[in-house]
Chain A
Amino acid sequence: MDNEKIDQIINAHQGKPSSLIMVLMEIQSLNGWLPKEVLSKVSEKLTVPLTRVMQIVTFYKTFSLIPKGRNEVHVCMGSSCHSRGAVSLMNKVQDLIRIRPGETDSESKFSLESGNCLGCCNLGPEIIINGKHHARLTPDQAEDVLKNYK
């Protein structure tokens, strides 16, 4: 964890409660998750009550209170993908990785999210891993896709 960088981000917004979400997003993006000590520091330096910080951090799926896996697996569950079989695809992925959406596996290899529609409906149903699209998948193809990730 890059404590110096995190401190830099927080200090740049010292005393500015309205920068809360922006600061949290920057740290989440840099660090991959938000440890409790960091949240306390944010609360103190930005003069925002810790209850407010906790409310925001637990409200939005973007923020994670636990370290994420090395590979972020995102199965789109938008309405179009749903019509094209995303549920069976998600079930297969859950069977393969053995975790549910919002969880990370015990080896920190995969984190699974069920996703918001990203608007590339022509690719559905799809699995997006670390930003890469694996488009138009059937449940049988899921295993081959996941095999390539360490």
Chain B
Amino acid sequence: MKEILLQIDGKQVKATEGMTVLEAAQSVDIFIPTLCHHEKLEPYGGCRLCIVEVEVNGWTKLVVSCVYPVEENIIVRTRSEKVDRMRKMILELLLAHAPNSLQLQAFAKEYGADKDRFEKEASFCIHCGLCVRYCAEVKKKHAIGFVNSGARREISFIPEIAAKECNDCKECFELCPTSYLQAVFVLTKALAFP
């Protein structure tokens, strides 16, 4: 595997070809906030919280570090005025859904995000996709999936599969940053399990 040298927050980092910027940063204990990332799952690129500045040949651009591949000699900045501004807004948009999420609250403190910036939204799912992806990629049971598109998107259990598999598993429950997953499970069990 080819070795790639890059700079993250002023630190020289040795990474291997095929690694993402996030993985490279984590390998030297540089913290980048994430919501939809999980080491057992394929990178998703949904929450955009891990956005960082990357400078290549004098040009700076903002990229999502969990999917951006490492390149020779790039300069990465995990915090900057622009990066922080992006993260603050992303958090505020999500806090409109789940103001009581401990994980969101912790990030909100760091970035000065105001949980009351936007009116409260009905659903407290933040669409990190961890539950859906975990069940598909790790457990391979496909008991839960996404339905509908855009702002109407939601997670939905397949009642027949969930009735068979979930009671003995529930491994996805601890992944949910807002506990919305548990709420949907209880509701589905009560209303739709065969």
Interface of A toward B, CB cutoff 8 Å? 49-52, 54-55, 58-59
New A-B contacts (16) at CB < 8 Å, excluding given A54-B156, A55-B145, A59-B148: A50-B158, A50-B161, A51-B132, A51-B144, A51-B145, A51-B158, A52-B145, A54-B145, A54-B158, A55-B146, A55-B147, A58-B147, A58-B148, A58-B149, A59-B147, A59-B149
In whole angstroms, how far apart are the Cα atoms of A49 and B149 in the complex?
Answer: 18
Contact A49 to B148, CB < 8 A, known contacts A54-B156, A54-B158: no
Chain A residues in 8 Å Cβ range of B158: 50-51, 54
Question: How far does the Cβ of B81 sit from chain A's closest Cβ, in whole Å?
Answer: 37
Task: Specify the chain B residue showing the minimal Cβ separation from A40.
Answer: B160
A-B contact pairs, 25 of them (CB 8 A): A49-B142, A49-B145, A50-B142, A50-B158, A51-B132, A51-B136, A51-B142, A51-B143, A51-B144, A51-B145, A51-B158, A52-B142, A52-B145, A54-B145, A54-B147, A54-B156, A54-B158, A55-B145, A55-B146, A55-B147, A58-B147, A58-B148, A58-B149, A59-B148, A59-B149
Residues of B in contact (CB 8 Å), total 13
Chain A residues in 8 Å Cβ range of B147: 54-55, 58-59
Task: Specify the chain A residue showing the minimal Cβ separation from B158.
Answer: A50
Question: How far does the Cβ of A45 sit from chain B's closest Cβ, in whole Å?
Answer: 16
Chain A residues in 8 Å Cβ range of B161: 50
Chain A residues in 8 Å Cβ range of B144: 51
Chain B residues in 8 Å Cβ range of A58: 147-149
Question: How far does the Cβ of A66 sit from chain B's closest Cβ, in whole Å?
Answer: 15
In whole angstroms, how far apart are the Cα atoms of A54 and B143 in the complex?
Answer: 12
Question: How far does the Cβ of B147 sit from chain A's closest Cβ, in whole Å?
Answer: 4
Chain B residues in 8 Å Cβ range of A55: 145-147
Question: How far does the Cβ of B166 sit from chain A's closest Cβ, in whole Å?
Answer: 13
Question: How far does the Cβ of B151 sit from chain A's closest Cβ, in whole Å?
Answer: 13
In whole angstroms, how far apart are the Cα atoms of A51 and B145 in the complex?
Answer: 5
- By CB atoms of chain B within 10 A, which of A50, A51, A58, A59 has the most? A51
In whole angstroms, how far apart are the Cα atoms of A79 and B116 in the complex?
Answer: 34
Residues from 144 to 194 in B contacting A, C-beta threshold 8 Å: 144-149, 156, 158, 161
Task: Specify the chain A residue showing the minimal Cβ separation from B161.
Answer: A50
In whole angstroms, how far apart are the Cα atoms of A55 and B142 in the complex?
Answer: 12
In whole angstroms, how far apart are the Cα atoms of A51 and B132 in the complex?
Answer: 9
